[in-house]
Chains A and B, each alone.
Chain A
Amino acid sequence: MHSFRRILGVSAAFVLICLILTGSLAWAFIESEYAYDEDRTLRRSLAGQVDLLIAGASQPQRAIIPSMLDESLGTYSYNLGGGWMNLIGDYRLLETELERNPVKDVFLAVSYATLTRTEASDDYEGDTYIVPRLETMQDKADYVLRCVDYRGYVSLYEYYVQQGWAYMLSAIRGEPVHNVNYDYRGWRPVTTKDVSLAEDKVDQMHDSKPLDVDVRDENVKQLQDVLTLCRDHGAKVYLVVIPLSDQRMWRQSGWDTFLDYMQAFADENDVPLYDFNLLKNRWDLFNDKTSYCNDNHLSEEGAKVFTPVFAEIMGKAMAGEDVSAYFYDSYEQVKDMSPYAK
């Protein structure tokens, strides 16, 4: 019994010391502005000013520049997009901003992953980015306990400890530790990379991997909750799809299935859908050499070209105009016109 009590006591002490040591590192990071998207403080400073929100994952985060959007639309917008963002994260962030801002419109970006992704398939990465963006410790704890699967706890813990160490090291070295850019208002510019397919790979890669089109009821419900949340706060929602590279659309099959189920959702829930992959003049605007940073994200250059076009079309849509003439009807038509099809 003596051994048992001693083992228990010492083990508990060890666990406690580990938690204090690593927890301090994690907490320091979570409360900081060290990562570029730890924009809690920035958003708090803009409270009461924002009338247009862009929400979604990393695709809108990199593609839509709030300052350029506002020039065209006369709005004051904020880009809530974030890496691996899931619908619960969208809900939590929107909830906070809708409460404290006079938001009239929400551009909610959806993608091929929105209604099919799971936490496990994302390896809980989205959760690690969402938690530091939530307002209070209570919000964070609530999110972790209620919205993160217990199998993700280790991933979150390890990530925050590692980031905490990186933060501390930067602070000691005198490197920048406030990495949130207040001018970008949530936009994340990324360097361009040539993502075009090599000629000898074109035939081999055509429709080589099917899209996951297994729509999860849970995700549909979560998206409906986001719509309801926005509408309850008097904001109009527009579903948008950010353009992907030609090579990404070329390599995968099942895009029209995605379009069909997304359009079906939009029709059932009375929300407009604008898929910018189907833009008729996309090849005048974007190309795989100069517009993307990888196969599914626009680069800084691509964003600067996309945002004004997006603003123009969405401005008309917001004014009630019919903008269907700007778009093809299907991905099949777009792929037939793809530079890789020639």
Chain B
Amino acid sequence: MSITSFTFVAFVFAALILYYLVPKRFQWIILLLASLVFYARYSEKCLLFVLVTAVTVWGAARVMQGLSDGRKAYLKAHKAEMSKEEKSAYKKKIRKQRKMVMLAALLLNLGILCVVKYFHFALAQINALISLTGGEGIADTYRLLVPLGISFYTFQAVGYLVDVYWENCKAEKNFFRMLLFVSFFPQVTQGPISDYEQLSGELFAEHSLSYDNYARGFQRMLWGFMKKMVLANLVAPYVQDVFANYSTYTGISAFIGALFYSVQIYADFSGYMDIMCGLCEMFGIHLTENFERPYFSKSIAEYWRRWHISLGAWFKRYIYFPIAMSNWSRQLAWKSRERFGQGISDVLPATIALVVVWLCTGLWHGASWGYVAWGLVNGLFIILSLWLEHIYAAWKKALRINESAWLWRAFQTVRTFILVTFIKVLPEVGTLSDGFGLWRQIFTEHTLPKTVDELLPALAANGTANFVVIMIMIVLLFVTSLMQRKMPIRDYFARVPLPGRLIIMACGFAVIIIFGVPAMASGGGFLYAQF
């Protein structure tokens, strides 16, 4: 069932009615049934993958919990008779057992993810190596099932597993609650990736029907539909045209196309988030935010704290900190302090961790060298900013730059947006060399467009009316982003009298029908659902 369809909206309202009709302690069961129906509509076979993840993660967590509960009880009972060494040895033994259980479940689930996502990529690399030796490659006639949202729900489940291992949270006893956590339908396609403590608090609490939640949630859903169905889909043909034909574009036109891609991916992904967060709010459930006006960031590092926040938080918690604070990393820092001084030893563990994080982030986004390059380029900028922090500070001091001046902040914002745009398009144009080809075109093709058609080659095919709508939506998005710095937009909106609010929303609905629906053929499904 497509999310941008009346069927989905009807499904949500049907679930909502049932949700508030049943006794509150059964509300989560309605969510579970809705999630299973939603996923089964996509593919019943793929639902098995979700079940395997839920079963293995739940089972492994229960076993680990049992071991740690047993350890506590044993130590308590034998506190007096055990020596410090005996206690330490016993704790080590239990820790090892828990680790084995965790690793087994981790390897299984990450293994499934890797096979499903990276099989074809891996085979292509093997074939490339074989062809270097003059041999005949392996024919890739395999068709693998790709479960919807596997990257998202696997990470969410794995996060829970590791949290139980770290004893950050207790294992969930009820399998069906675990199944809901893994398969929760607003999240399963494109996140946000939540941690168990936060999400379970929302999912399993009892929620009363609230007009405010309903109204605000619906407003947010409608805005999300506008961003995805109108803006993202209308801009898509411009982006597709430049990516397919960049070598025929002038530098400026190619750059505009790249900027449009930044608009498209943000409208598409944040539009999805608005739809899902909005509908969850109608159920009284609050999901973590995944975006915080990312294009207003002043550095790449800040951008990645504001874009796809939950993924960044996941990598920070489960990859970055464990690597940066591991024993060998600390030993490396200690040794390098002796040799290179405090400054370098402070940044070395973080640097190694960042390389791993960004390599993984690139691969998570896609099985191609383009995405690997994308990830490493992002990482490079963040690492450079760590290493050169003192040099930047010295330059700014020498040039007497006032960091709180609005001009400097505007420069930082525009600079970051342009940098981020360039990095974003690298894996999206086609192959990695196509990505570099687009960069080359932007920088080396200096012909100035003489007509509007030369400036925007896709305009003729897509119509002036659609272009005007794109521009209006971009301005609206920009203005609402600025306004949000002071107060949530829906608080501003709440000040408009009810009849006015309803008319504005009805106009939004009409805009979706008039411009969004026909554009769906060009926009296609959600961009991030492929991950």
> A–B direct touch, CB within 8 Å, in complex?
yes
Q: How many residues of A contact B (CB 8 A)?
A: 19
- CB of B510 closer than 8 Å to a CB of A: yes
CB-CB nearest in chain A for B16: A7
> Using an 8 Å CB-CB cutoff, how does the interface string of B311-352 with A read, 1 for contact, 0 for none?
000000000000000000000000000000000000000000
Question: Does B210 contact A3, Cβ atoms closer than 8 Å?
Answer: yes
- CB B97 to nearest CB in A, in angstroms, measures 51
Question: Does B514 contact A10, Cβ atoms closer than 8 Å?
Answer: no
- CB of A323 closer than 8 Å to a CB of B: no
Task: Give every chain B residue within 8 A of A158 (Cβ-Cβ).
Answer: 513, 517
A25-B510, A154-B6, A161-B514 as given contacts; A4 in contact with B502, CB under 8 Å: no
Question: Does B505 contact A14, Cβ atoms closer than 8 Å?
Answer: yes
CA distance A10 to B215 in the complex (A): 9
CA distance A14 to B505 in the complex (A): 8
- CB of A13 closer than 8 Å to a CB of B: yes
- CB of A120 closer than 8 Å to a CB of B: no
Question: Does B505 contact A165, Cβ atoms closer than 8 Å?
Answer: no
Question: Does B514 contact A165, Cβ atoms closer than 8 Å?
Answer: yes
- CB of A21 closer than 8 Å to a CB of B: yes
- CB A177 to nearest CB in B, in angstroms, measures 16
Task: Give every chain A residue within 8 A of B518 (Cβ-Cβ).
Answer: 162
- CB A253 to nearest CB in B, in angstroms, measures 27
CA distance A124 to B510 in the complex (A): 21
- CB A152 to nearest CB in B, in angstroms, measures 12
Partner of A7, one of B6, B214, B465, B513: B214
- CB of B507 closer than 8 Å to a CB of A: yes
A3-B209, A7-B209, A7-B214 as given contacts; A14 in contact with B517, CB under 8 Å: no
- CB B270 to nearest CB in A, in angstroms, measures 24
CA distance A6 to B518 in the complex (A): 34
- CB of B506 closer than 8 Å to a CB of A: yes
- CB of B509 closer than 8 Å to a CB of A: yes
> Using an 8 Å CB-CB cutoff, how does the interface string of B278-289 with A read, 1 for contact, 0 for none?
000000000000
Interface size grouping (class) on chain B: 20 to 34
Question: Does B209 contact A162, Cβ atoms closer than 8 Å?
Answer: no
CA distance A154 to B520 in the complex (A): 15
Question: Does A17 contact B513, Cβ atoms closer than 8 Å?
Answer: no
> Using an 8 Å CB-CB cutoff, how does the interface string of A11-42 with B read, 1 for contact, 0 for none?
00110011001100100000000000000000
- CB of B139 closer than 8 Å to a CB of A: no
Question: Does A21 contact B506, Cβ atoms closer than 8 Å?
Answer: yes
Task: Give every chain B residue within 8 A of A271 (Cβ-Cβ).
Answer: none
Please provide the chain A residues from 145 to 159 with a CB less than 8 Å away from any CB of chain B in the complex.
Answer: 154, 157-158
CA distance A30 to B524 in the complex (A): 29
Question: Does B211 contact A7, Cβ atoms closer than 8 Å?
Answer: yes
Question: Does B215 contact A162, Cβ atoms closer than 8 Å?
Answer: no
- CB of B498 closer than 8 Å to a CB of A: yes
- CB of A141 closer than 8 Å to a CB of B: no
CA distance A316 to B9 in the complex (A): 59
- CB of A137 closer than 8 Å to a CB of B: no
- CB of B144 closer than 8 Å to a CB of A: no
CA distance A13 to B498 in the complex (A): 10
- CB B446 to nearest CB in A, in angstroms, measures 37
Question: Does B209 contact A17, Cβ atoms closer than 8 Å?
Answer: no
A3-B211, A7-B211 as given contacts; A162 in contact with B498, CB under 8 Å: no
Residues of A within 8 A of B (CB): 3-4, 6-7, 10, 13-14, 17-18, 21-22, 25, 154, 157-158, 161-162, 165, 169
Q: Could you list some 23 contacts between A and B, CB below 8 A?
A: A3-B210, A3-B211, A6-B211, A7-B211, A10-B211, A10-B502, A14-B502, A14-B505, A17-B502, A17-B503, A17-B506, A21-B506, A21-B507, A21-B509, A22-B509, A22-B513, A25-B510, A25-B514, A154-B6, A158-B513, A158-B517, A161-B510, A169-B465
